[in-house]
Chains A and B, each alone.
Chain A
Amino acid sequence: MTAIRVALDLLREAAARRWFLALGLALTGLLLLLVTSLRLEVVDGALAASRLFGKPLDHSIQAADVALRPVFLAASQFVFWGGLGFGVLSCADFGPALLSPGRIEHLLSLPVRRWELLAGTFLGVLALAMAGAVYASAGLVVVLGAKTGVWTGWPVVSAVLSAVAFGSIYAGMLAVTVWVRSAALSAAAGASLIVLGLLATHRTSLLDLMGRGPGRALFAGVTAVVPPLGKLADAAGALAASAPLAPGGLVRLLAGTLAFAGALLAIAVWRFERRDF
């Protein structure tokens, strides 16, 4: 319960930050732009014509739900990768601000357990990522649903998956912050995990290209535990576009991602419990 209180405080702090106000305004602006500039003509469930800023878009007549799939796919990739990038930059400061001298002492003097403080910070950032991703995707679903009559919840599920992927990255950022209180280092850790996540996506083919040796073993070891972000992004895209997924594939991906995040959080808590401030 205390961790939830810490998380809610983090959300209150985020609400006062320009980064998140700017994100909220930008997403709202984009959705309003779509509302005002996109015209879709649906006849008997088929998308007959569409205009963007008054200019006709070239496409064949097809079922509206089928026509919207690539739109939802593109939106899911925007939310996934854009969310990761924005999240790494905008959330890098939360941990260091929490641990800043004069603030952490005050927080630790309150009846809050150390792990609750860290868990609350993580949950707050996860809720923030979730809110941003769900707001963007649900907004798109509502706008397109109102214009075409096609209603689907899968883009929102896809957005939740994106937030979970960011959660695994943020767990690494938080763990680094517990060792060294630096927003720059936290952001660098996040960026490194994204790159490693991309490499982990192509792990098998990259390993084939590498000669035997300690470098290959290190690469194999690291990419075995880092969530393959490309595969997660593909899964998010497939969910958003209502495309088929490999049976059990998403569950395995999610389980690996959650285990990775959990392990990093456990390391962070272990260090945080022992650290002097």
Chain B
Amino acid sequence: MPAAFAVTSLHKRFRTRFGRSESVALDGLDLEVPQGEAFGLIGPNGAGKTTFIKCLLGIAHPDSGRVELLGGKPEDPRSRARVGYLPERLTLPGAWTPRALLASVARLKGLHPGRAGLDGLLQRLGLAEAGDRRIRGFSKGMRQRLGLAAALVGAPDLLVLDEPTDGVDPLGRVEIRQLLAAELARGATLFINSHLLSETERICSRIGILSHGRLVRSGPLEALTSVQQRWRVRFAPDPPTEALVALGFEPVEKGAWELAAGDAAVLNQALDGARHAGALLVELERASRDLEDVLSEALAAGAA
């Protein structure tokens, strides 16, 4: 699968106005995201996530390193024409209407979607009723939806979304997740930058953890969150606790048990023993950590 974008050894430092001090935003970052993938970049504030996006799209100039965006340079309008971007703090011209804004974005992309095309986009984002209202009266959630609509103009091959569900209510988040899933199914590549780990977990199949401008961990979501050779088990109420402990089961929260089992034979042997002792199996899954644990662990390892 060809890469949607690839960056190699990306460095970016910011200096104060008079050059008295400088901070490292990106410290030799390497990352490649294949086309059609949903990639989530997570990390604490100041890790360099937004700077990375800006370097990727040519909004900021890296000090050194190589950036390839959809087979071209970020400065090349032909590459950028295939990108949809939602900035973290989107400022929209308050006197405009959503329809006028989307029409302007379409014109600047050299597209002519027509009124029906723009209405369809507004409809997808739940803004059909507000199409002719001035943006200055919009709530934060509505602005965010409109920003997303602007990013979707022209069905871009790559969607770069910086905090896409910021300010959106829970129901709206579900809608946005569905919309992003549809974009992914269409073949678009998603690159999502978010503080909300649960959102990233639900949308993205691959995760990168950024800390102090370096990618400290990257990989498929399952690989990052699964704990090798451990299983989570639930039994019917009042299981034989002592027998289970003797078989190697460890009690964890909310009546769940965990078991270390290197292969299927060991796992089944332990389960047979539990059943023989009177426990009734109701649930079995591979033990995993949530993304928060992975992030904390990666940051701790990165700091060490």
Distance, CA A13 to CA B105, complexed state (A): 14
B96 pairs with A13, CB closer than 8 A: yes
A13 pairs with B85, CB closer than 8 A: no
Known A2-B108, A12-B100, A102-B87; judge A110-B80 contact (CB<8 A).
yes
Interface residues in A1-57 (C-beta closer than 8 Å to B): 2, 5-6, 9, 12-13, 16-17
| Interface status of B289 (Cβ within 8 A of chain A) | no
B91 pairs with A100, CB closer than 8 A: yes
* Selected contact of B108 from candidates A16, A102, A105, A111, CB within 8 Å: A111
B58 pairs with A108, CB closer than 8 A: yes
B80 pairs with A102, CB closer than 8 A: no
Max count, chain B CB within 10 A of own CB: residue among A5, A102, A106, A110: A110
In whole Å, how far is A30's beta carbon from the nearest beta carbon of chain B?
A: 25
A277: chain B residues within 8 A (beta carbon): 54, 59-60
Total number of B residues with any Cβ neighbor in A under 8 Å: 34
* Selected contact of A109 from candidates B59, B91, B96, B110, CB within 8 Å: B59
B274: chain A residues within 8 A (beta carbon): none
B87 pairs with A276, CB closer than 8 A: no
Distance, CA A111 to CA B110, complexed state (A): 9
Max count, chain B CB within 10 A of own CB: residue among A6, A13, A109: A109
| Interface status of B78 (Cβ within 8 A of chain A) | yes
B108 pairs with A6, CB closer than 8 A: yes
Distance, CA A153 to CA B207, complexed state (A): 67
B95 pairs with A16, CB closer than 8 A: yes
| Interface status of A195 (Cβ within 8 A of chain B) | no
| Interface status of B229 (Cβ within 8 A of chain A) | no
B61: chain A residues within 8 A (beta carbon): 274, 276
In whole Å, how far is A241's beta carbon from the nearest beta carbon of chain B?
A: 39
A109 pairs with B93, CB closer than 8 A: no
B93: chain A residues within 8 A (beta carbon): 13, 97, 103
B89: chain A residues within 8 A (beta carbon): 101-102
In whole Å, how far is B141's beta carbon from the nearest beta carbon of chain A?
A: 16
For residue B78, which residue of chain A has the nearest CB?
A: A111
For residue B61, which residue of chain A has the nearest CB?
A: A276
A271: chain B residues within 8 A (beta carbon): none
B57 pairs with A276, CB closer than 8 A: no
**A13-B95, A110-B105 given; 6 more Cβ-contact pairs under 8 Å:** A2-B77, A5-B107, A13-B93, A100-B91, A101-B89, A276-B61
